[in-house]
Structure 1
């Protein structure tokens, strides 16, 4: 089933010479860099923590999967809206513990899969549920991207600025051109190139403040959170309940990525080392990331694209990229430079990225041939979209426990329940 017709240049356990290893690792780092940095930038979490979380998380993943799966882990987009909302209404310690719980949930699912198999998860999370939820992720973030591209204060939506719009459009246009008209590595890192060109245009328009870069040290301790020093870990069951449903979406995304890697590399990693190990590695990576204040981790489609085009499957290249990511977090001027990127630059590239997320959910419905003429499918899809995009929420208490389930989490939960309880065939209306 997984017979790859391409001959790898470097197979999974082959190690390139040091110079080649360094260059190839940088290539993987660049492929994930733009998107991974964007998540902490949008949520307000430290960029350096995200780099360390990504690097250490990938090394943990390599260890848990016995060095058999060439996958890189980066910041997950699925949690952006929830993290932004949670940081506004909850203490930092509560938010990070809730994110830690999402990683722990991965571990629980991994253990269940190890003992009873994987088929049950496909019944709980069929494409008719996952597709619309992925669409909600992208469409729910749309206002964030548009506001960043238009306003000087994107949170308050004040200070409409035509210069911001021009810079955002330059960034977006550059990213589109690199994605459509170029080939090779340029086509693999359009987000990074778009950010660079957008940043240069922002300098020309005079909206970049270099003072943080000038004042920063070349080598500095990264900005990471330390439990009981930077924050007090606090268990808030309501917040955990709000975040856990998102994990079902990222687990589904993880499984999808794993299927693609199986095809690219030509091996069935579901069997060896096993999907349970892959999910366990992802869960442990997310748990570590949350402890230091980084976003949850997930496998990255950009890096799978690098594998497919270069035919370089070496786990040493993946590990090298992880070590480089960790190293960059200790370069003070580099992390300061990231902080000077104006919001319209990130807004411009986010317009495309968030749109792609929404479109990928639609693509899943098309690829899986979900028939929306079937009333059951139509009802599940419709309810998920309206609850998610409409930001519906449930706010209630059970004794002393206060629960708040909102937006995508509520949409995902309702979608899962509807899929489980609605009959497979919904009868025609009596008047038809």
Structure 2
């Protein structure tokens, strides 16, 4: 790393300016930090998703009648973390190619609960069988049979997600999506998750607030302080350089300090020793049993628990959850691009992202995870705090999670993070996601009563309907159990309700393009500036050059040269069309629009661009 004109630059081309605005992203999507820094940033993101990933295996073990089987819980935990890593690597490399962490989806929990509530799947204790005479093989086969039913229906529903992505239907719908659709969808992702953060915070509000305060102090008050740290480069060998450590690692530092405090309070028995008290979850030995039962090495493989099974009712329920997950993920893609200071993803990137999520969920079902994968909104919000959006960092995150799944003991150690620490982190990152959605409103006319009406209805109904259904679980009664299950899952998802309302109202209520913000939104799609990520961020690695030579590839919705939706609604009008613009790819259009010759440096290679 070298110091020049007050800037810090390493051999990867990452520049951190001392006077850089706190709104800027320090490490952009295409930047590649040093390996040791990638590991630190990646570990920080891995710690962020532990809370959500950890809760699903415990919930699932209870639903499949294996609540008292700690070995089953540890096994499900290893599989879940392994698949988080695999899905993250696939998404960041071949999917939407943004800094997005994939993990277990809580959206699929309601249909699983509905499936397991059927009399056929009741646990032996509930069905009245004599459990005292039940053999160990019978009990073992009992939970495996339930898990196979979950696996099969989830895989079949995820296949539908792959089809939606590969056929380009999601990219087609982007033509009708504007700021008044994106804003409530993204905002409700963060606002609807406040209950999840509260569950973790209530274990000990003091520790949660401390963790939250540390993140704010590090990232907003002392972010400018640079700490001397040892570094290595080919030119300078071993030397000392300065890093804005508080800006780049606020989450990890906050977790470590709060975790140390919890350890001290645990050793001195200041925290309750009675497991029935809620503050007991703040102890560092709260989940020590997971470490004891977790295997040293565990490698998931297909059909470990047998051949998956399917049923009509189970598939419909899983399909409803899949549709909700797709809506949430599309919103996450735009939120990630927004927080990363980049242009929104083009249709082919969205199509690949959705298809890759479905493909990863199919693999999850094959290896017995019992839960599909989806993008994690919390990790997207963390980009706004850490200012680190590098794709390579998130690939490190995927590798770390994959290793956690294979090395059972290592992954189990990460689960020892007390609940209130996780709650404090989730509180601020969920807020960042909601704020990112609200910031999208900058493109619309906020003085228009039309726009205010659409926004008001989308937000309030999106929050109100799921809350009402939670308090009245049997309120939907159409006479068809399967239809009731579908409607319950869809209407219980705040971002689905708010996003669909915003989409319908924005496309039906009369309004000019300037009033709706469509014009400014479309211009944002085809213009770039210094803080934007280049279009190459969304292209497939290694093969894009060859794909561009094949004209037929432009008809495939997941191809980087596919741009039919953008051409239909997002391009300039024919009167404004610039001669020479190549419609075969989104990136080509941007390059032709740029008329000023500039010299840029990408990964150490100097390139001249028009």
Say if 2:478 is the partner of 1:401. Answer: no
CA distance in 2, matches of 1:257, 1:26: 21
Q: Give the 3 Å change call, closer, same or farther, for CA 349–93 of structure 1 in structure 2.
A: farther
Of residues 54, 58, 75 in structure 1, which corresponds to 2:84?
54
Of residues 355, 366, 378 in structure 2, which corresponds to 1:280?
355
CA distance in 1, matches of 2:193, 2:386: 29
CA distance in 1, matches of 2:501, 2:167: 20
CA distance in 2, matches of 1:415, 1:320: 32
- Residue in 2 aligned with 1:429? none
CA distance in 2, matches of 1:359, 1:64: 28
CA distance in 1, matches of 2:383, 2:412: 29
Of residues 33, 38, 41 in structure 1, which corresponds to 2:51?
38
Tell me how far 1:33 sits from its aligned partner: 0.9
CA distance in 1, matches of 2:300, 2:218: 32
Of residues 372, 383, 387 in structure 1, which corresponds to 2:465?
387
CA distance in 1, matches of 2:360, 2:198: 31
CA distance in 2, matches of 1:350, 1:12: 23
**Contact 2:294/2:412 (CA < 8 Å) preserved in 1?**
no
Tell me how far 1:94 sits from its aligned partner: 5.8
Of residues 394, 406, 410 in structure 2, which corresponds to 1:330?
406
CA distance in 2, matches of 1:54, 1:373: 44
Of residues 216, 225, 230 in structure 2, which corresponds to 1:176?
216
CA distance in 2, matches of 1:201, 1:328: 25
Show the 5 A alignment for 1:253-292. 253-258=332-337, 263=342, 270=346, 274-289=349-364, 291=366, 292=369
- Residue in 2 aligned with 1:149? 201
Say if 2:399 is the partner of 1:351. Answer: no
CA distance in 1, matches of 2:501, 2:385: 37
- Residue in 2 aligned with 1:430? none
SS in 2 for 1:329: helix
SS in 2 for 1:75: strand
Deviations 1:342-365 (A, max 9, x none): 322222323223333333333334
**Contact 2:158/2:358 (CA < 8 Å) preserved in 1?**
yes
Deviations 1:144-187 (A, max 9, x none): 32233224xxxxxxxxxxxx232222222222223323444543
Show the 5 A alignment for 1:108-119. 108-113=163-168, 118=171
Q: Which has the larger radius of gyration?
A: 2
Say if 2:451 is the partner of 1:378. Answer: no
SS in 2 for 1:297: strand
CA distance in 2, matches of 1:239, 1:326: 25
Tell me how far 1:390 sits from its aligned partner: 3.8
Show the 5 A alignment for 1:28-427. 28-44=41-57, 46-61=76-91, 64=94, 69=97, 71-75=99-103, 79-80=105-106, 82-91=107-116, 100=155, 103-113=158-168, 118=171, 120-123=173-176, 125-151=177-203, 164-183=204-223, 184-206=244-266, 207-209=283-285, 211-212=288-289, 215=292, 219-221=296-298, 228-229=305-306, 235-258=314-337, 263=342, 270=346, 274-289=349-364, 291=366, 292-293=369-370, 296-298=373-375, 301=380, 319-366=395-442, 368=444, 373-374=449-450, 375-391=453-469, 395-397=476-478, 401-404=482-485, 405-406=487-488, 407-409=491-493, 412-413=496-497, 415-416=499-500, 419-420=503-504, 423-425=508-510
Tell me how far 1:237 sits from its aligned partner: 1.0
CA distance in 2, matches of 1:204, 1:237: 49
- Residue in 2 aligned with 1:26? 39
SS in 2 for 1:118: helix
Deviations 1:96-148 (A, max 9, x none): 556546644442332332xx79353241x443344334333333332332233
**Contact 2:94/2:352 (CA < 8 Å) preserved in 1?**
yes
Deviations 1:247-299 (A, max 9, x none): 212123224535776938xxx9738x754334433432343345524552327
Deviations 1:182-231 (A, max 9, x none): 44454344333333322222212212227437635783216899564497
Tell me how far 1:13 sits from its aligned partner: 9.7
CA distance in 2, matches of 1:366, 1:218: 51
The TM-score normalised by the length of structure 1 is: 0.71
Q: Give the 3 Å change call, closer, same or farther, for CA 51–401 of structure 1 in structure 2.
A: closer
CA distance in 2, matches of 1:322, 1:177: 28
CA distance in 2, matches of 1:275, 1:110: 8
The TM-score normalised by the length of structure 2 is: 0.53
Instruction: Kindly report the root-mean-square deviation, in angstroms, between the aligned alpha carbons of the 2 structures.
Output: 4.4
Q: Give the 3 Å change call, closer, same or farther, for CA 47–200 of structure 1 in structure 2.
A: farther
CA distance in 2, matches of 1:148, 1:33: 18
Q: Which runs of 5+ in 1 are unaligned?
A: 1-5, 152-163, 427-432
Q: Which runs of 5+ in 2 are unaligned?
A: 1-8, 15-27, 59-75, 117-146, 224-243, 267-282, 512-610
Q: Give the 3 Å change call, closer, same or farther, for CA 238–211 of structure 1 in structure 2.
A: closer
SS in 1 for 2:39: helix
**Contact 1:74/1:297 (CA < 8 Å) preserved in 2?**
yes
CA distance in 2, matches of 1:326, 1:254: 23
CA distance in 2, matches of 1:276, 1:30: 28
Q: Give the 3 Å change call, closer, same or farther, for CA 178–87 of structure 1 in structure 2.
A: farther
**Contact 1:102/1:247 (CA < 8 Å) preserved in 2?**
no
CA distance in 2, matches of 1:87, 1:278: 25
Q: Give the 3 Å change call, closer, same or farther, for CA 309–327 of structure 1 in structure 2.
A: closer
